[in-house]
């Protein structure tokens, strides 16, 4: 595993060298970690064809030395803003205009940061905007990475199994969310991969509801959407339960969402374009007259971040490939009544898929 950082860095350096540019600046911290192993909360990585340097501050001098050991990245500790320090090194790029070019991802830097960089680097440096070099590499997970995501998925499934026992009329959404967060840490997670969602009754119709002081009541749908970070990798799980005996209409909706999820998973196993699982889920919900209530995309990549490439959505032409890990999470949301979402994490292997989350999928009537 440790040599993985160095291997990724070398792959990126080959691409950089082919591009003819002199350097690539990495400012997005999950990308910095992916290439170097550095986990600090401040830093910028300058990758050149034959070397790489992490710029960070004095808080991280010991940590940087330890963590960069396996990737071979140099550490540069300074008192100034890492972008200012990186800019002064880039100022030293020599040679043709192309060798004096630094590639950076404009979606990963603030306007202020971009200004700092330009002032520090001076006039001779050329800048080229290009997005997604590292994100693209990150879409294909190694076996070691999939093992970590699997462990995070199992962990969050366990949390669901524990917390579902507490779902009853009278408990508040906030109380349940606190139980989710507490239990995932007790099981070894470093924290939630996003703010835990507990949404009950009409609030379940809001796909990204925040938990409130509202108490759960009899005859309500409850959406529980939770994810854990374990060994830096994320999981993401949603289940919807009903408090009491579900009416026929709710059972029909639930079955439609579950069928849509199955159809999307089947498409994921046999198709190879990112929009196809989404289209499959949408076809099922359309045929049940529920298409208008499915207001988000079918899934997203999962890894060091809880939302990453590829997106399983309309118009996404990205190729699905072994090593990708995605969520499959169709839902229906009916204003004033409630919502249903069922979400699992799925790894794509050569010729098959593997569902990593294990919580029960049938409708639980509690
Ligand atoms: Mn999700």
pLDDT per residue over 279-301, tens digit each? Answer: 999 999 999 999 999 999 999 99
pLDDT at 2 exceeding the cut of 80: no
Q: How far is the CA of 297 from the centre of ligand 1 (A)?
A: 10
Q: Which residue in 175, 95, 103 sits closest to 132, CA to CA?
A: 103
Residue 302: pLDDT band by 50, 70, 90 thresholds?
very high
- Compute the distance between CA of residue 44 and CA of residue 130 in angstroms, rounded to an integer: 16
332-341: average pLDDT: 97
Q: How far is the CA of 225 from the centre of ligand 1 (A)?
A: 8
The secondary element (H helix, E strand) that includes residue 223 is strand 221-226
216-231: average pLDDT: 98
Residue 329: pLDDT band by 50, 70, 90 thresholds?
very high
238-259: average pLDDT: 98
Q: Which residues contact 270 (CB under 8 A, 6 or more apart)?
A: none
**Helix, strand, or coil here: 6?**
helix
Q: Contact at 8 Å (CB) between 323 and 140?
A: yes
Residue 234: pLDDT band by 50, 70, 90 thresholds?
very high
Q: Average per-residue pLDDT in the chain?
A: 97
Phi then psi for 364, rounded to 5 degrees? -90, 120
**Protein residues placing their CB within 5 Å of the ion ligand 1:** 236, 327
pLDDT for position 70 = 85
Q: How far is the CA of 327 from the centre of ligand 1 (A)?
A: 6
At 91-123, the pLDDT tens digits run 999 999 999 999 999 999 999 999 999 999 999
pLDDT for position 3 = 87
164-188: average pLDDT: 98
Residue 1: pLDDT band by 50, 70, 90 thresholds?
low
Which residues partner with 308 through β-bridges? 301
Q: How far is the CA of 100 from the centre of ligand 1 (A)?
A: 41
- Compute the distance between CA of residue 5 and CA of residue 67 in angstroms, rounded to an integer: 10
Q: How far is the CA of 330 from the centre of ligand 1 (A)?
A: 10
pLDDT for position 176 = 98
CA distance to 31, 64, 143, 289, per residue, from 324 (Å): 17, 29, 11, 32
> Residues 197-208, buried b or exposed e (16+ Cβ, 10 A)?
bbbbbbbbbebe
Q: How far is the CA of 107 from the centre of ligand 1 (A)?
A: 22
At 40-60, the pLDDT tens digits run 999 999 999 999 999 999 999
Q: How far is the CA of 140 from the centre of ligand 1 (A)?
A: 18
Q: Which residue in 201, 205, 196 sits closest to 174, CA to CA?
A: 196
Q: Residue 291's CB: how many other CB atoms inside 10 A?
A: 16
Q: Residue 266's CB: how many other CB atoms inside 10 A?
A: 13
């Amino acid at each position: 595993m440790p040599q993985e950082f160095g291997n990724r860095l070398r792959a990126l350096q080959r691409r950089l060298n082919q591009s003819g540019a002199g350097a690539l600046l990495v400012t997005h911290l999950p990308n910095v970690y992916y290439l170097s192993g550095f986990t600090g909360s401040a830093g910028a990585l300058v990758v050149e064809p034959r070397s790489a340097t992490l710029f960070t501050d004095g808080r991280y001098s010991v940590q940087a030395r330890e963590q960069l050991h396996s990737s071979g990245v140099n550490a540069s500790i300074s008192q100034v803003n890492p972008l200012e320090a990186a800019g002064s090194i880039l100022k030293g790029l020599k040679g043709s205009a192309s060798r004096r070019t630094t590639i950076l991802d404009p979606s990963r830097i603030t306007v202020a940061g971009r200004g700092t960089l330009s002032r520090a680097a001076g006039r001779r440096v050329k800048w080229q905007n290009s997005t997604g070099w590292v994100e693209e590499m990150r879409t294909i997970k190694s076996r070691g990475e999939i093992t970590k995501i699997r462990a995070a998925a199992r962990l969050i499934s366990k949390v669901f199994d524990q917390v579902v026992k507490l779902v009853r009329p009278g408990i508040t959404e906030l109380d349940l969310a606190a139980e989710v967060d507490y239990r995932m840490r007790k099981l070894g997670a470093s924290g939630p991969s996003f703010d835990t969602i507990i949404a009950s009754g009409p609030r379940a119709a809001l796909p990204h509801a925040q938990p409130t002081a509202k108490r759960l009541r009899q005859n309500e749908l409850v959406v529980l959407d939770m994810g854990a970070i374990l060994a830096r990798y994320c999981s993401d799980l949603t289940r919807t339960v009903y408090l009491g005996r579900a009416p026929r209409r709710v059972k029909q909706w639930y079955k439609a969402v579950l069928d849509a999820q199955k159809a999307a998973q089947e498409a994921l196993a046999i198709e190879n374009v990112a929009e196809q699982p989404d289209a499959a889920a949408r076809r099922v919900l359309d045929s049940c007259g529920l298409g208008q209530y499915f207001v988000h995309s079918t899934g997203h990549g999962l890894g060091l971040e809880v939302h990453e490439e590829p997106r399983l959505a309309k118009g996404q032409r990205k190729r699905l490939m072994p090593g990708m890990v995605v969520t499959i999470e169709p839902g229906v949301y009916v204003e004033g009544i409630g919502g249903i979402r069922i979400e699992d994490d799925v790894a794509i292997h050569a010729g098959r898929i593997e569902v990593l989350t294990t919580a029960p999928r049938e409708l639980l009537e509690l």
